[in-house]
Structure formats: structure tokens, C-alpha cells
């Protein structure tokens, strides 16, 4: 299976020729973005997962600390799963995808996300894939929302239409150095419903799409907006899980 993915990533990246591995900086002989060593370190999310947020549980149980007991049912985003574990090589892939515009990583992420999608019947009733939006000032700078590109690829494979149901109203600072509580605060009120989509999402199950899930505060904030606009259920699927 890994071999197949390797072929795919070789193919899609064949016209980019980075001279060094995006992760470790080793010289590359093949037309890949990662060296063989780094590529081997890519791991799917596996083992026991929190039933709601999908984080890997080291010591078992049904839920992680943040979703335990009555907490699980309070979240608007009811189900989150991710394809790959966040580590040095996958972080390098997301970085190349997001900031270096290696858009051809999207089909690879979509492929591994589709494997996760197929594993869970929870996703089957979804009417739309909704990408987590970026602020329009950032979109102007980069020309695209990379998550939307990812959603389009995934939507094609799983035959679910993509709906840009959300807009980002707040240009939030990067979440990477923030604590769980700070992230919540930072992202509060950052999203709004896009114009004219209310009728479409009313009563529907929706899958939010994002590249990385860390504390799930972004997904939760998006889910709040969709739920108050009448969505029946909001689930999420991301490429990476930190």
C-alpha cells in the first residue's frame, strides 16, 4: 500500500524537482518531495482513538480528556477523523502545500483522506464537503485557499459536492504557538456563513475539511456557525492529526 502511495506521489510531483528533501534536506536522487527515509516515516492515524475527536489514545478508553463524560455531547462538531499522524515529514508536506504552493500534494492528501472516509459510516450521509476558509486578504496574497483545492480533489473521489459555506471574517494570528485556551480565544468569531447558502445546508449533514487538526478549536468554531444556520450534523475530516 505504501508502495502504491509512493508511486502516486512520484508521479504527481514528477515535474517539480526539488534538489533536497523538504524535511531533512538530504540530496534527492528521485523526483520526490521527500527522501525515501522521510517518506517511510509517514504514519496513518491508528490504534485506539477518541470516539469524538479522533485523537490517538495511549491508554485506551472511549474518549480523550477533553471529550470525556458529558463534554463529548457539548461539541457542535460531533465527529473528527484524520488520515495521517503529524510528524516531521507530514509537517513538511503541509508546509510545502500551504506556503510553497506545491498544489500537487492535494491529490495525495485526498487519496489518504478517502481511505479514512471509507472506514467510517458516520460520513456516509454527508451532503457537502465544506473547506475551512482563509481570510480574503490571505487568499489575495496566495491566490487560492489550499484547503479548498484539497476539498475539490476529495469531493471528486467520494462524489460529494464542495460548498464554500463559510467565510473567514477575522484574520487570526497563527495558532501554532498558542495553548489550547488561547487557540479557542483566538479563533472565536472568526467565521461567518457565506451569502445565500442557508437554504442548502438546512437539515444537512456536513463534513468540514482542513489540512491539520490540532486542538480542534477551528473546526468547532466552524461547526458552531453551520449548526446555528440549521445544519443537522457537522463532522470533520483532516489530512493530519497533531
Binding-site ranges for Zn ion (CB under 5 A): 21, 23-24, 26, 35, 38, 50, 52-53, 64, 67
Measured from the CB atom, is 21 or 236 closer to Zn ion?
21
Task: Go through the chain and tell me how many residues it has.
Answer: 242
48: left (phi over 0), alpha (psi -120 to 50) or beta: beta
User: Least distance (Å) from Zn ion to the CB of residue 195?
Assistant: 33
User: Least distance (Å) from Zn ion to the CB of residue 177?
Assistant: 22
User: Least distance (Å) from Zn ion to the CB of residue 31?
Assistant: 14
Measured from the CB atom, is 23 or 207 closer to Zn ion?
23
Residue tagged 495553548 (cell numbers): 179
Measured from the CB atom, is 81 or 168 closer to Zn ion?
81
Measured from the CB atom, is 92 or 201 closer to Zn ion?
92
User: Least distance (Å) from Zn ion to the CB of residue 149?
Assistant: 25
Amino acid at each position: 500500500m505504501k508502495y502504491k502511495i509512493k508511486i502516486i506521489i512520484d508521479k504527481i510531483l514528477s515535474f517539480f524537482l526539488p534538489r533536497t528533501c523538504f524535511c531533512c534536506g538530504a540530496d534527492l536522487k528521485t523526483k520526490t518531495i521527500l527522501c525515501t527515509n522521510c517518506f517511510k516515516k509517514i504514519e496513518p492515524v491508528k490504534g485506539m482513538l477518541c470516539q469524538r475527536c479522533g485523537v490517538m489514545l495511549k491508554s485506551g478508553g472511549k474518549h480523550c480528556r477533553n471529550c470525556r463524560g458529558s463534554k463529548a455531547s457539548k461539541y457542535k462538531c460531533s465527529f473528527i477523523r484524520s488520515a495521517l499522524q503529524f510528524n516531521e515529514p507530514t509537517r513538511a508536506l503541509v508546509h510545502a502545500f500551504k506556503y510553497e504552493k506545491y498544489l500537487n500534494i492535494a491529490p495525495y492528501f485526498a487519496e489518504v483522506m478517502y481511505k479514512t472516509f471509507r472506514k467510517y459510516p458516520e460520513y456516509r450521509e454527508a451532503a457537502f464537503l465544506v473547506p475551512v476558509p482563509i481570510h480574503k486578504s490571505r487568499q489575495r496574497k496566495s491566490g487560492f485557499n489550499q484547503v479548498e483545492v484539497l476539498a475539490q480533489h476529495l469531493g471528486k473521489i467520494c462524489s460529494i459536492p464542495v460548498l464554500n459555506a463559510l467565510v473567514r471574517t477575522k484574520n487570526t494570528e497563527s495558532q501554532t504557538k498558542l495553548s489550547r485556551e488561547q487557540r479557542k480565544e483566538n479563533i472565536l468569531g472568526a467565521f461567518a456563513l457565506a451569502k445565500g447558502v442557508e437554504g442548502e445546508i438546512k437539515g444537512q449533514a456536513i463534513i468540514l475539511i482542513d489540512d491539520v487538526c490540532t486542538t480542534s478549536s477551528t473546526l468547532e468554531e466552524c461547526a458552531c456557525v453551520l449548526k446555528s444556520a440549521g445544519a443537522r450534523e457537522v463532522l470533520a475530516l483532516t489530512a493530519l492529526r497533531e
